[in-house]
Amino acid sequence: MSEVYGNMFILNGELQPAGLFDSRLVYEGESVYEVIRMVKGTPLFFSDHFARLRNSVKLQKRELLADLATLRKDIIALTRSDRKKESNIKIVFNNRDDEANYLVYYLEPSYPSAEQYRYGVKGTLYHAERKEPGSKVINHKLRSAVTNILINEKAYEAILVNEDGGITEGSRSNIFFLRNDTLTTAPDNMILSGITRKHIIEICLENLIPVSYECVNYKDISLYDSVFMTGTSPMVLPFNCVDNNIFNVSLPLMENLRKLYLKRAAESLKHFRNE
């Protein structure tokens, strides 16, 4: 089954029918990628995502296969050919057998429901960590292991624990702990710093909300009032439990952060359209 959601995709700047999509250009060799949420046919925080993509390429000592203007043009071309207002798009820079290609395509959306935002989701602890947390690369082994544990535990997200017992990040998200109106999240150099996380931290700074940077020990999570994840698809989503630990999903601060984030997201859409 093709990963492409829709009728068309971009390969090296050219529109192609979805039937020609070759998954080997994503999952064989080495791939650096970004997933961007689309709202009303426009990507959220596009410049931020490109900056992280460029940094990932630099860390992997690879070539930047398309610049900001080129990718912007490709996204516009894709949205005009296949209008999907609410979805995600994936940008992949792939190196395989001395050949380099880049792809841009829609992913089938999988967003939390209104009920999940209201009542929270289940998380589960998983002892693993990324080898190079600063770059967004496809890690087949970790992805497969996490998929299995999520199915077995009937959980929404796996929360990664490093060899020192510290919680770093989620398998596809960043993690925040909340106690006494102070947020705690892992230090930047120990995680893949998400775009949503970046904006949540900036919102906190603007609103004088304290943020502490440390890896919470997995044995101490019950000491916190609330835990939530941030990410492209979930945005700001609370956990109602992590394994056997129960958390409050109704703290006003979490909902306030989500509303302020949505306001920022709307502003980023205007910026992309006006560039």
* pLDDT recorded at residue 160: 95
Of the candidates 142, 135, 160, 154, the one whose C-alpha atom is nearest the C-alpha of residue 53 is: 135
* pLDDT recorded at residue 273: 65
CA distances for 253 relative to 120, 182, 209, 214, 226, angstroms: 15, 10, 9, 20, 10
* pLDDT recorded at residue 275: 60
Q: Domains in the chain, please, with CATH?
A: 8-107 (3.30.470.10), 114-267 (3.20.10.10)
Please state at what angle helix 252-274 crosses helix 46-59, rounded to 10 degrees: 90
Q: Give rounded-to-5 percent helix, strand, coil for the chain.
A: 35, 30, 30
CA distances for 91 relative to 22, 103, 123, 145, angstroms: 14, 6, 28, 23
Of the candidates 225, 228, 237, 227, the one whose C-alpha atom is nearest the C-alpha of residue 262 is: 237
- Is 142 within 8 Å of 127 (Cβ atoms)? no
* pLDDT recorded at residue 109: 84
CA distances for 121 relative to 15, 19, 113, 124, 194, angstroms: 38, 35, 10, 10, 20
Bridge-partner residues for 235, per DSSP? 231
Per-residue pLDDT of the chain (275 residues; tens, 9 = 90+): 679 998 999 999 999 999 999 999 999 999 999 999 998 889 999 999 999 999 999 988 888 999 999 999 999 999 999 877 688 999 999 999 889 999 999 998 889 999 999 999 999 999 988 877 766 776 778 888 889 999 999 999 999 999 999 999 999 999 999 999 899 999 999 998 899 999 999 999 999 999 999 999 999 999 999 999 999 999 999 999 999 999 999 999 999 999 999 999 988 888 776 66
Alpha-carbon torsion angle 52, 230, 275, 60, nearest 10: 10
Of the candidates 205, 148, 199, the one whose C-alpha atom is nearest the C-alpha of residue 171 is: 148
* pLDDT recorded at residue 1: 63
